[in-house]
Amino acid sequence: MKYRLLTKDELEELEKEFVTFLAANGIPAEDWVRIKENEPAKSQELIAIFSDVVFDKILSQVHYLEHRQPDIIRIFRFGEEKVIMNGLRLEGKSAIDFTKNQDVTALMQLFKLSPGKLKIFTAEKTYQKDRLQEIFQLMQNSAQILKDDRLFSTIEQLKNAKP
């Protein structure tokens, strides 16, 4: 198993897809009922395979993740061979709390009004594991999927604008 088993709730949400998966593997509904009742190890194995298929599909579409703490925000961009992380750290007193979901414009307004100092940092690394497994690991550590690159690009612009 590459990731984790889907929870019961997740499986219920994906019932239609699971039925399609079973059918594609030559397992009709009546056989699935029999397997669940008489071969629990085999049913868990099938759920594990399906779980990996689901996670592979989701994770392959991820290009950006964000990880927020009250005083730090990290945005990860996943390329083919490496991940680049851009981040912001607040030092000193500030009214800004990165865990509050504010858009880029609102954050920029708060930075201008904040007495705290803003530090920009960046890092990059090549993948130590499979790309999808690295994305999964960050998500297990509370990183969230970002649909667009606005925040990553904004930090990149701030970083490049530094004297």
Residues ≥6 apart with Cβ < 8 Å to 55: 2, 3, 4, 132, 136
Q: What radius of gyration do the chain's Cα atoms show? A: 21
Place of tokens 């990183």: 143
Distance of alpha carbon 39 from alpha carbon 28, whole angstroms: 15
pLDDT digits (tens, 9 = 90+) for 108-131: 666 666 666 778 899 999 999 899
Q: What is the pTM of this model?
A: 0.81
pLDDT of residue 123: 94
